[in-house]
Amino acid sequence: MAHSEDKTENVASVMKVFAVLESLVEDRHLTLADIATKAMTSKATAHRLLNTMISLGYVQRDEETDRYGLTLQLFSLGARSIQGRSDLLWAADRVMSKLSRMTGESINLGILDNVDEKVVYVHKYDSHYNLSMKSTLGKRNPLHSTSLGKALLAWRDPKDIEERISRMDFEVTAPNTITSRTVLLSDLAATRARGYAEEIEESEAGVRCMAVPIFDHLGRPVAAMSIAFPLFRFDEAKQPEIAQTIRDLGLEASLSLGYSPDLGRP
């Protein structure tokens, strides 16, 4: 019984540490009281955790304002964690830059997080327009409601797709969010047949997105690239041209990673 209680306390402590970190990510400079409130813990506990993080180099305190903020240590950890994906980022950046220059719209790169079945935004080009979809690096979105997520799912093994869908809760975030396993499977089949994924107000109201997978040398979908339009700026007459362009650029990125058309064209 004591062992179980110790384990529960350890889990609670870890959760408090991340709550403190997340509060500092959301607001760069906070007082002790602010952090305790956001992390839903006592000031004494927050103070103890902050002192430990300061000693480890993750947090710093401004002695003049008595406010706390993150150092670049977390950024360093994140940068090291994606070093193994440097080839992917290099290959994707080249085509994302082209697509950005050609369209002026928001371009995003996402990868699949196998832990919580979500797409994580790891690279982006912001729109040239004031009115546009804004994404944040590190943002996580559901697979079922995003073009990036569908592009990452559609070219996987059917059994893998079924298993991932079985773990989805089909959270509704926009007017047209898919809420059915059957509808999603049908959408993924259509996605694979036409070579790109699409969503119209499924993730965010007023936004239309198209995405393509990026394959590695083994033909595995290791990332997806999307373009996002506000509905009012999307020209339906140009849809075939945009679709072909994004497919061609996705293939170009895949070829840079050693993908062979013999494995099946994306």
Predicted local confidence at residue 7, as pLDDT: 55
Sign of CA dihedral 238, 244, 247, 251: negative
* 88 close to 122: Cβ distance less than 8 angstroms: no
* Domain residue extents for the chain: 2-75, 82-263
CA distance 233 to 46: 47
At residue 122, what is the residue type? V
What is the C-alpha separation between 17 and 183, in angstroms, rounded? 40
Which candidate, 47, 49, 71, places its Cα nearest to that of 58? 71
Distance CA 165, CA 117 (A): 9
Kindly give the pairing relationship between strand 67-70 and strand 59-62.
antiparallel
Compute CA distances 264 → 43, 67, 219, whole Å: 58, 55, 8
Residue type, 210: M
As given in the structure block, the two tokens for residue 247 are: 């497919």
Tokens of 241: 């041209």
Task: Assign a CATH topology to domain 2-75.
Answer: Arc Repressor Mutant, subunit A (1.10.10)
pLDDT of 2: 47
CATH label, 82-263, candidates 3.30.70.1520, 3.10.290.10, 3.30.450.40, 3.90.226.10: 3.30.450.40
pLDDT at position 144, please? 94
Nearest CA-CA partner of 224 in 68, 65, 113 = 113
In angstroms, rounded to a whole number, what is the distance separating the alpha carbons of residues 235 and 156?
31
- β-strand 118-125 against 59-62: which pairing, if any? unpaired
CA atoms within 13 A on the CB side of 55: 6
Residue written as tokens 């993924």?
A: 188
User: Which helix (DSSP H) or strand (DSSP E) does residue 110 occupy?
Assistant: strand 106-113
Give dist(CA 139, CA 53) in Å, integer: 24
Report the length, in residues, of the chain: 266
Assigned token pair, 243:
């679709």
Q: Which residues lie below 8 Å from residue 149, measured CB to CB, with a gap of 6+?
A: 110, 118, 119, 141, 142, 143, 197, 224
Strands, DSSP E only, in 135-220?
140-142, 197-200, 207-215
All residue ranges of the chain with pLDDT < 70 are 1-9, 75-86, 131-133, 263-266
CA max distance for the chain:
68
